[in-house]
Amino acid sequence: MALLEVDDLSVTFARRGQRTVHAVDGVSFSVDAGEVVGLVGESGCGKSVTSLAIMGLLPKQPGLRVGGKAVFDGTDLLQLDDRSRRDIRGRDIAMIFQDPLSSLNPVIPIGLQVTEVLTRHRGMKGEAAAKEAAELLDRVGIPDPRRRLKEYPHQLSGGMRQRALIAMAVACRPRLLIADEPTTALDVTIQAQILELLKELVRDSGTALVMITHDLGVVAGMCDTINVLYAGRVVETARRRPLFAAPRHPYTVGLLGSIPRLDSGRGERLTPIPGSVRDLLPWPDGCAFAPRCTRRVDDCVGAPPELVLAHDDRSYRCVNPAPVPGREPDSAFAPQTGAVAAGASDAAAPAEAASREEESA
């Protein structure tokens, strides 16, 4: 039984006189205890809205509709009332945001913000809470924690603020931590520090981590399972190594092909994805990625592609997936509408055996 099971989650924003926006459109994924799961995608793919919906942090406004299920340890988070949700939030599930300055209260000392969590969920008070808070800051690598407790967020650097935020998030030893672009606002050397810290915390406490990012490099070093999102749907799910060795969905292939890599030489041409995120087809009319896809066939338009379940826990939403390297390429016109048929044809391919060159194929 998974720790968090998100099933067919959908979030729509409706506004009078405007087209309804399907920010998240039937996203399903699961997180096991102690597992690191990545949600990857470009801006507007719905990765942040997914996490906010799970946490119940979407602004309550008319026109907002959240559907589906997000079952955490047996309880559906989406059905909870605010009160019981507040009990879970911070204690069992915690979240780290992208911009530490805007998620910390600028007029309250760091210490008070950390002890607030301890008081609310662990009933600690006074000196005991302060001592625990100092230990937490020490644990996340903030030097001279006793003094830091009395300081305000503006007195800390960006990296230190992010550390303070992580300290608050792990204060109650949550079982699930959701990190929404935790390092995007930071410099690379600070990013490396924070990622290392997150890895340590996950390893030592057995906390499950949902890592939301646009950076495939970050994901490659951290996540056990990766979900690639496009236009509000998960288009490919795979374990880390198979995904990078042999991406199946053309969008994943395109993403990997368009990143300049530190270990590739000068002048090696990148293969960008043509068009922009704006050129998309609404899912009911076919595959949203079809207008930008290089492997487009006639079947792509008309109905949304079914989720194809392949071997070794991987699945993708594509009727004409990229071939697994080292194998005869699938016929471009092979009818693959049925999930079972395509899944069976995949079963023979050992994805790990794929060589590096094919990554950009």
Partner 1 sequence: MTGSENLVEVRDLKVHFPIKRGVVFDKVVGHVKAVDGVDLSIPRGRTYGLVGESGCGKSTLGRALLQLTPPTGGEVRFDGVDLTRLSAGRLRSMRRRMQMIFQDPMSSLDPRQNVESILTEGLQAHGIGGSRDERRRIIGETLDAVGLPRWALSRYPHEFSGGQRQRIGIARALVLGPELIVADEPVSALDVSIQAQVVNLLDELQERLGLTYLVIAHDLAVVRHISDVVGVMYLGALVEEASGDQLYREPMHPYTRALMSAVPVPDPDVEDQRERILLSGDLPSPANPPSGCRFHTRCPWAQPTRCADERPVLRQIGGSKVACHFAERIASGELRPHRVTAEVVRPADEGDAPGVVSAPSEPGSYV
Which residues would be at the binding site for partner 1 (CB under 8 A)? 42-43, 141, 143-144, 154-160, 187-193, 195-196, 214-221, 240-241, 244, 254-274, 276-278, 356, 359
CB nearer to partner 1: pick between 31 and 256: 256
Q: How far is the CB of 233 from partner 1 (least distance, A)?
A: 17
Instruction: Identify how many contiguous H helices and E strands the chain contains and give both numbers.
Output: 12, 12
CB nearer to partner 1: pick between 59 and 143: 143
Query: For residue 180, which amino acid is it?
Result: D
Pairing mode, if any, of strands 64-72 and 308-309? Answer: unpaired
Interatomic CA distance for residues 153 and 144, integer angstroms: 15
Q: How far is the CB of 258 from partner 1 (least distance, A)?
A: 3
Q: How far is the CB of 47 from partner 1 (least distance, A)?
A: 13
How many Å separate Cα 260 from the centre of its chain? 22
Token pair 């945001």 in the structure block, residue:
97
313: left (phi over 0), alpha (psi -120 to 50) or beta: left
Query: For residue 120, which amino acid is it?
Result: R
Interatomic CA distance for residues 78 and 231, integer angstroms: 22
Strand, helix or coil at 258? helix
Q: How far is the CB of 357 from partner 1 (least distance, A)?
A: 12
CB nearer to partner 1: pick between 61 and 189: 189
Interatomic CA distance for residues 29 and 359, integer angstroms: 25
Interatomic CA distance for residues 39 and 231, integer angstroms: 13
CB nearer to partner 1: pick between 45 and 77: 45
Q: How far is the CB of 57 from partner 1 (least distance, A)?
A: 24
CB nearer to partner 1: pick between 69 and 239: 239
